[in-house]
Structure 1
Amino acid sequence: MRAAVLHAPGDLRVEDRPAAAAPRPGQVRLRVVRAGLCGTDASEFDHGPVLTPLTTAHPVTGVQGPIALGHEFIGEVLDLGDGVEGLAVGDRVAAGAGVWCGDCRWCADGRFNLCRRYFTYGLNLDGGLTEAITVEARMLVPVPAGIDDDNAALAQPLAVGLHAVNRSGVRPGDVAVVLGAGAIGSFILAGVAEIGCRVVIAADVDPERLTTATALGADRPVNLREESLADVVAEVTGGDGADVVFEASGVKGNPQLAQQLLRRGGRLQLVGLHPGGTELNLLDLSVREIDISTSLAHVCPVDLPAALEILRKRDLSALLVERVVPLDRIVEDAFGPLAARTARGKFLVDPTPATA
């Protein structure tokens, strides 16, 4: 079968791989229907390895060397291992991609994304940019009828956005700011739109992203090149400040800006990654009792079903997907634009073999 395999930065090859293994107890073999690409995939391709074990064996999976990317995928059940319940051959399922042990203290607390032995298909071992894959059944959720393949393929990244929303404690009636309306910011906006906030402010430097943000549910788009976000927040809140600010950009200096936007007792939700570190005013955090929360990935049994429920009600693919590309064209038509930063939306991959 064919798979998109990362060998080194800039070296992604669509090549033949052995067929997906027969499922062991607790596993399911899937025909992959759609796979999504995100900024993490683009980073691994452009200047990795960061998360992929290309040069060092992963401590949990033991995998080292080239791997098939793809941690956002949906599929059709081909066959089931012993002990799998609630699924049947022919079912469409969304994959959470991350797998947890179920035995450690973090799993006991329901924080499966922090599991001591957590690993992710497509980052720590072969993933969904392939024709078929065998994975753990525990991370699969059936796709409800009425959700088409392109929309269902957004379930995993939407679950990541919903986890950030849940961690933030945002409530109905709040004023929420999403700083950075790109890939993850868009999914945060889709989640915040379900809360019933008084005002949702979306801030970015890209007018097209802000147009999409408005369609997703933002009440007040702010182009950071043309307006002062601090002035807009002050105007909307009568000078009090926002209840919650999501820092989803990963841009240097934006965590400090986010802190300044908050009211006394507000919450800063850090979602964008800042590998170089950042400085925050700790005195200000203390005297204004500002809470800081962070988020990583998602809690599959909670966030993935919730994402599918939103996708059942809303066609987010019409707003967020730029195009669907065949697997054999993934480098030229998807990773190329992602690495060059010319992509305007999300890319999905159809691994279905071409017919003569």
Structure 2
Amino acid sequence: MLFGNALQVFSYEWKKSYFKFHEAYSDLSYALEVDKGAAKAILMAVQVNIIKYFLFIRNNKKNIHLQSLYEISQKDQEKGLAAAVADILWTAGENQTATICLVTTDTYFPSSRDYKVDNFTERLQLFEFFEKEAAQKFIFDHIQCFKGEGSHGVILFLYSLLLSRTLERLQKDLDITTSHLLQFSLGNFICRQAILNIILTGQASPHVFNGFQKCNSEANTTVKHVGSMLKTPKLPIWLCNINGTYSVLFSTNRLLLSDWKMEHIFDLYFYNGQPSQKKTIHLTIDTHSHHWEENHCEEESDPEKRFPSVEMAIRTKWAGAAINWNGTAPFF
């Protein structure tokens, strides 16, 4: 289901990936540290749920101040990770079950001609839960299995995710465009869209558009347009793929997408996981002003050379919006 056969194994880059937060009580205490490796997409997708927990689950206020994300302790981080993972697994299990994988010292199946040993997968033990709260407590009690260095935490999460969804449901979710969930690219295996969609929605849809769409061979080579359902989530947090790099945009106002009046002038916050980012980027969006077009109308014709890619991504949701970086130098 992952590689297309049982003879492939995870690379060192995958095996070393785990859930590690930035320093507690810092400007990025809510955020995971993310390498450039193949597991970045999964980490950033889980980051969406972590932000959801800190802003909207543990708080009942309609509008939370960003400062609350800077006041997170190490224990809060662990609670946030446990809550996010439990919520993702429970949703994947149709709100009925969650399966959690942990590594043990025992080997449960040997190597064979059809299976290549990785000294990890064959030592997994499965724990099934029928209550979300029980799964969350179990994850919190074993949080080092996901956030400890050398824990293979991201792979454990990925296995737990697929088993919570179940192989039967996965096969129903996928279509002829996706036979397995990891794709070989530039010497490593990277996530297909289906994995990210399980994390975001609970279903392994291989596409980003709404419903069904007829595709011919020529259309398959073009950029796929994101549907309105992913653009308008229940809570204002977006996983973005900008020029092949995953990042998160979010608002602290839970009602942003519930009242069109709030979408005139509002703030968004941006985290891209790059080591160079030391604080959350604050963007102010003005959907009624079009001076950005006037200021650049005589510049280069290629929009990607005229405007930062982050701005172009935002304008796929709010066409024509003016974007103020509030003192941060825009990056392309």
TM-score, length-normalised on structure 1? Answer: 0.21
Greater share of helix: 2
TM-score, length-normalised on structure 2? Answer: 0.22
